[in-house]
Structure 1
Amino acid sequence: MPSTMKYLSLFAILSSFLFSCAEKKEKIYPEKLPMTESVYASATVQPDSMYQVYSVAMGILDKIWVEEGDKVSKGDRILQIINTSPELNKENARLALQLAQENYSGTPGVLSSIADEIQAAELQQKNDSINYFRQQKLWDQNIGSKLEYDNKKLAYELSQNRLGLLKKKYGQTKNELETHLRQAKNNYKTSLTTSNDFTITSKIDGKVYALYKNPGEIVNTLEPVAAVGRSDKFVVELLVDEVDIVKLNIGQKVFITLDSYGSKVFEGTLDKIYPRKDEHSQTFKVKALFNEPPKTLYPGLSGEGNIIIAEKKETLTIPKTYLVDESTVITDKGETKVSIGLQNMVLVEILDGINENTAIYKPEP
């Protein structure tokens, strides 16, 4: 075969191969479909108003009044802690209060003793006053000695000063005793409160979901001893990535799936956005409420949530995998710029650049 014919045959085979590859390239057309954009979040079910129970005092766990799963009313006893110190402190505070009351108002009290001294000083001052003024009249008449006159005057002045000092002492002592009495009353009230704190009670109507201590173990103020929450209402705690948190608003629709219920989808409503970011996970916590909760729920059930931030009944869409660099698609004319709108895990909304009759091709990996 001539060499020219060989080259022509080879060119024809190569052209045919390239044409068949081009024909096999995936091609689709944009479609008008309903479109929703959502924010993904991991979900955990928790009882509403659930809180960790702490003791405000140290001691030894003596008795557990409930079991895990028991329902409790507000004020019901949960745990009993024993410690001899509070009872001793209460008795000491009572004795100190009793002593303070006696010192302030009792018959043998400090004030009554000073009052007796004042009464005696007043009598002495009155007597010294009579003697002094009598001696002064005599001295004015040149009767008596100067020494006798000076002695009577000095005695009078000393008795006056002593009476003044005793009255001042009475006032100061009264103020001090009043202060001590008030302090003793406060200390006694505190001792009563501390004694009551050794019986831990429920703060809400609900259920005991966990007990972390056994009888005989030491209880401190840093570790929780139980977990209590409502039994009739559950919430969904969602962890949202920090890049998505600004898209959320209270009242947005939430679709929830739980691992325990397979593919079944539950609808809820976004109820609360917590403002503090978890620095470890770089997420924000938000809370959603079930519109119609499942019949059976337990604390800690996990799943996923999708918070709807926008939706349209019909709009031009293409699969996300057909986008190049998030703003370009491949058409018969080559790379074409497009404007995008809503997007989810699968689809993206096309606002401008192509239409329903524009063929687009999937980018090569």
Structure 2
Amino acid sequence: MKKKYLIILAIIGINFTSCRKSQENKTSPQYKQLTEAVYASGNIYPRNEYKLTANADGFLIKQTAFEGDLINKNQLIFQLESISQDARLEAASNILRQSEANFGDNSPILDELESQLKNARTKLSNDSINYARNKELFDRNATTRIEYERAELAFQTSKNDVSARRKAWLRTKNQLYVDLQNSKSNFKVNAREGDNFRIRSFEAGKIYEIYKKQGELVRKGEAVALVGDANDVYAQLAIDELDFAKVKIGQEVLIKIDVYKDKVFKAKVTKLYPKLNKADQTFRVDAEFIDEKPNTFYGMTIEANIVVSQNPRVLTIPKNYLVGSDSVWIEENGDKKKIKITKGVENLDMVEVKSGLTEKSVLFIGN
């Protein structure tokens, strides 16, 4: 980028016009208020800019918003074809419903086991009564040992059967609970996988560009759309590396946008980026608009002046009176003389003279 210094006198109420020349192209230095600025070029971008990307491979089969549309946070914007994943999700959903039925209040599996346990307890109760009666009879020698032992064996068998059936009921219930939790986890995983085929917005904003059309194949990690803040923009500027040291955070920036013709927007420097862009030998600087902001059109080209110093009263001459980089022709006692001067701030139109001339000096162009 060619180094430029612009003077912003129109903004502070002072005309840009060079010192008035005589018909012989003569002039004299004048004290003026001089503002030094660094030239920058760049573009306008929305804040909170991000790209919507795909988390899975698939064909784009549905689109709910288009370029220029305002969108809400977490709004579904695109949907990719997901036949295989939909089938897996449906299978997981069916398994989950079956698991919930198996472990629910009306579980057919648990009802059957509970019924078997109830019958075993009834038999145990009968066998217990029969055992007690036979024991009493045996103690009074009213029955044989064989009948007594048969009743005792039936009672112990029923007792063991009740214990076994209760353990089977608890074991089955615990297993059905584990199956239900696994089914829930499997369903959540498949549902989450299904979300990879649905592309949603991260934040509310405006869609500035869409990179894919319906029916096109989208690869995992591929950008599908560009989204940014619909109400706020900032200026992204490129500063020549020779001027970068002069730029500080908080400095005033005067911005000209081609779309707005002669209108000048005011901003301030908010961020300096320390990395040099080797392609064009520039540094990036961001500026935030003050008061009025331009419309949120993405990438509008701008030119800007960053005010780096303001000199309320300095001796200046028109730049076209310079000979080389530090000399001028003056008239002294009727003779023409070439002398050297010490320059200060300079720009495309004016040069500050620190020494070598006074207000009474008479300058002219050429020999």
TM-score w.r.t. the length of structure 1 is 0.62
Unaligned runs of 5+ in 2: 1-21, 94-183
Instruction: State the aligned residue count.
Output: 257
In the TM superposition, residue 340 of structure 1 has moved relative to its aligned partner by: 1.6
Identity %: 34
Q: Which residue of 2 aligns with 1:346?
A: 349
Identify the match of residue 358 of structure 1 among 341, 358, 361: 361
Is the CA contact 2:86–2:194 (under 8 Å) kept in the aligned structure 1? yes
Q: What code does the residue aligned with 2:305 have?
A: N
Is the CA contact 2:233–2:293 (under 8 Å) kept in the aligned structure 1? no
Q: Distance in 1 between matches of 2:53 and 2:328?
A: 60
Q: What code does the residue aligned with 2:72 have?
A: S
In the TM superposition, residue 230 of structure 1 has moved relative to its aligned partner by: 0.5
Instruction: Select between 85-94 and 314-323 the one with higher mean Cα deviation.
Output: 85-94
In the TM superposition, residue 256 of structure 1 has moved relative to its aligned partner by: 0.7
Q: Following superposition of structure 1 onto structure 2, how do residues 23-172 of structure 1 map, counting pairs within 5 Å?
A: 26-84=25-83, 86=85
Q: Which residue of 2 aligns with 1:203?
A: 202
Q: What code does the residue aligned with 1:359 have?
A: V
The 3-state SS of whatever aligns with 2:66 is coil
Structure 1's 350 and 217: CA in aligned 2 closer, same or farther, altered over 3 A? Answer: same
Q: Distance in 2 between matches of 1:192 and 1:275?
A: 44
Q: Distance in 1 between matches of 2:54 and 2:74?
A: 15
Q: Which residue of 2 aligns with 1:152?
A: none
Is the CA contact 1:62–1:216 (under 8 Å) kept in the aligned structure 2? yes
Q: Distance in 1 between matches of 2:276 and 2:84?
A: 42
The 3-state SS of whatever aligns with 2:206 is strand
Q: Specify which structure has the higher proportion of helix.
A: 1
Q: Which residue of 2 aligns with 1:138?
A: none
Is the CA contact 1:40–1:306 (under 8 Å) kept in the aligned structure 2? yes
In the TM superposition, residue 239 of structure 1 has moved relative to its aligned partner by: 1.8
Q: Which residue of 2 aligns with 1:121?
A: none
RMSD of aligned residue pairs (Cα, Å): 3.3
Q: What code does the residue aligned with 1:300 have?
A: G
Q: What code does the residue aligned with 1:55 have?
A: A
Q: Distance in 2 between matches of 1:242 and 1:254?
A: 18
Q: What code does the residue aligned with 2:270 have?
A: D
Is the CA contact 1:61–1:82 (under 8 Å) kept in the aligned structure 2? yes
Q: Which residue of 2 aligns with 1:133?
A: none
The 3-state SS of whatever aligns with 2:223 is coil
Instruction: Select between 72-81 and 248-257 the one with higher mean Cα deviation.
Output: 72-81
Structure 1's 216 and 359: CA in aligned 2 closer, same or farther, altered over 3 A? Answer: same
Q: Distance in 2 between matches of 1:257 and 1:41?
A: 11
Q: Distance in 1 between matches of 2:241 and 2:325?
A: 21
Is the CA contact 1:310–1:342 (under 8 Å) kept in the aligned structure 2? no
Query: Per-residue CA shift, 1:66-95, capped at 9, x if unaligned?
Result: 12222122211111122345557779999x
Structure 1's 196 and 295: CA in aligned 2 closer, same or farther, altered over 3 A? Answer: same
Structure 1's 260 and 356: CA in aligned 2 closer, same or farther, altered over 3 A? Answer: same
Q: Following superposition of structure 1 onto structure 2, how do residues 148-297 of structure 1 map, counting pairs within 5 Å?
A: 193-221=192-220, 223-294=222-293, 296-297=295-296
Is the CA contact 1:323–1:363 (under 8 Å) kept in the aligned structure 2? no
In the TM superposition, residue 32 of structure 1 has moved relative to its aligned partner by: 0.9
TM-score w.r.t. the length of structure 2 is 0.62
